[in-house]
Amino acid sequence: MNRPLIHSSGCFCCGMNRRDFLKLSSLFSTSLASTLAIGGCQQTAPNAGSSSAPVTTTQPTATEDQPVKIGYLPITDAAPLLVAHARKLYEAEGLTTEQPRLFRSWAQIVEAFLARQVNVIHVLMPVTIWIRYGRKFPAKVVAWNHTNGSALTVLPEIETVQDLGGQTIAVPFWYSIHNVVLQQLLKQAGLTIVRKPKDAVVAANEVNLVVLPPPDMVSALANQSIGGYIVAEPFNAAAENLKTGKILRFTGDVWKDHACCVVLLHEEDVTQRKAWTQQVVNALVKAQVWMRDNRSEVAQILAKDGGKYTPHPLPVLQRALTYYNTDFYSKQGAIVHADWGINRIDFQPYPFPSYTEQLVRLLKETQVEGETDFLKALQPEVVAQDLVEDTFVKTALQQVGGAQAFGLQPDLSRQETILV
């Protein structure tokens, strides 16, 4: 199998640090017009406060049969896009593909997306809200990549969330499900969330939040410069294998079957290249069906000593994708709701509106960095209808036996379950 193209010469990074955040803010503001010009797209995303705000667009520069150009970070969240490539499912749909491009940071992958260097990416669901409404860039969520797949990992001596008082905890980005879930846990424990500079004193009733790239999280925990981190796999499994940390709580045990990363496309592809978009989603859904029953094979595809899509060793990926022993993790408190019957990470494509609505509500009460006025105006129901286009997934599901293929309700309904 060909090795993925690796973009950037910077340090390995799967998160967005402050420099990346400022870079993206600049991209979406002063340089937005020139960036869009490079991509041949001049669109304005609608305001989420209105369900019928217009979107203007120029003629697309790419053709209906444009190649699939995947941009990804080397985390398990990207697995469906990569498995579809490895198993030639895009080609089976009649598409051509370029070698997937591995990026070092969220800033780089979004920059490449804006410039149309890539046209299919996975990205943190809260970031899509920020992109479309905070920076008014026209993009659409067309599917979920996975559910669950993240955890709060801490120093071995920490036993409870209350023990995090006085500690510094790392998140991968302010606009992430990780930050949302962590802050819910901390509030429930009666702890005060602060953001203090390095070396500042953190009181016993405070928890200091910082943004770190995931690989830096693993080393920072090992040298005890932080008390823990909350992040996607396989970085929790990595700390477990190194015996430098333990999982205090799985995020999927707090918010049942939540999405983390989703599939994001340019809006003009969704509206003007519907056949192409449908073929992309078909391949993704078929990959997810196969992955649910072939998790060890997925690890082989992703591993540096297998398909070489990521730099992670096979044992770490195997643990991240397959190990969710309820007896073991219940004893250390990482699993509280064993009766939920979920997996450590799972794969299903349908973007539930109820999830998007609840995410918007929680983002409004979550501390994040930067300008947040746009969040106040967002209407959850409108965002769920405007940000997400679910018709392609619904069509693709019919090709694999319907919603039942993923254990979903036939009418694609669900209620959000969040139990801290």
Least confident of 130-134, 282-286, 316-320, 403-407: 130-134
**Nearest residue to 184 (alpha-carbon basis) of 364, 392, 52, 355:** 364
Rg (CA), the chain: 20
In this model, does residue 33 exceed pLDDT 90?
no
Q: How far apart are CA 408 and CA 348, in angstroms?
A: 9
Can you tell me which residue has the tokens 């643990």? 319
Q: How far apart are CA 132 and CA 137, in angstroms?
A: 5
Per-residue pLDDT reduced to its tens digit, 211-266: 988 878 999 999 999 999 999 999 999 999 999 999 999 999 999 999 999 999 99
Q: How far apart are CA 387 and CA 353, in angstroms?
A: 10
Q: What average pLDDT does range 31-38 have in this prediction? A: 32
Q: How far apart are CA 36 and CA 111, in angstroms?
A: 10
Backbone phi, psi, residue 388, to 5°: -110, 135
Q: How far apart are CA 232 and CA 258, in angstroms?
A: 12
Q: How far apart are CA 394 and CA 351, in angstroms?
A: 10
Looking at per-residue pLDDT, the higher value among 285 and 74 belongs to: 285
**Nearest residue to 338 (alpha-carbon basis) of 413, 260, 250:** 250
pLDDT band at 107 (very low <50, low <70, confident <90, very high): confident
Backbone phi, psi, residue 84, to 5°: -60, -35
**Nearest residue to 126 (alpha-carbon basis) of 370, 394, 341, 347:** 370
- The two counts, helices (H) then strands (E), for the chain are 18, 14
* Strand, helix or coil for residue 352: coil
Q: From residue 189, how far is each of 174, 175, 312 by CA, in Å?
A: 20, 22, 34
* Both tokens assigned to 39: 């991509």
Neighbour count for residue 157 (Cβ, 10 Å): 9
Q: Is the peptide bond before 380 cis (omega within 30 degrees of 0)?
A: no
The whole-model pTM stands at 0.88
**Nearest residue to 383 (alpha-carbon basis) of 344, 356, 420:** 356
* Both tokens assigned to 383: 């965002």
pLDDT band at 65 (very low <50, low <70, confident <90, very high): confident
| Bridge partners (DSSP) listed for residue 147 | 259, 346
Q: How far is CA 193 from the centre of its chain?
A: 23
Domains by residue range for the chain, with CATH: 5-148+259-312+345-406 (3.40.190.10), 150-257 (3.40.190.10)
Q: How far apart are CA 295 and CA 302, in angstroms?
A: 11
Q: From residue 38, how far is each of 61, 97, 106 by CA, in Å?
A: 10, 21, 20
Neighbour count for residue 228 (Cβ, 10 Å): 27
Q: What average pLDDT does range 144-160 have in this prediction? A: 98
Backbone phi, psi, residue 269, to 5°: -65, -40
In this model, does residue 62 exceed pLDDT 50?
no
Q: What is the DSSP string of 295-316?
A: HHHHHHHHSTTTT-SSS--HHH
In this model, does residue 14 exceed pLDDT 70?
no
Q: How far apart are CA 336 and CA 102, in angstroms?
A: 35
* Strand, helix or coil for residue 144: strand
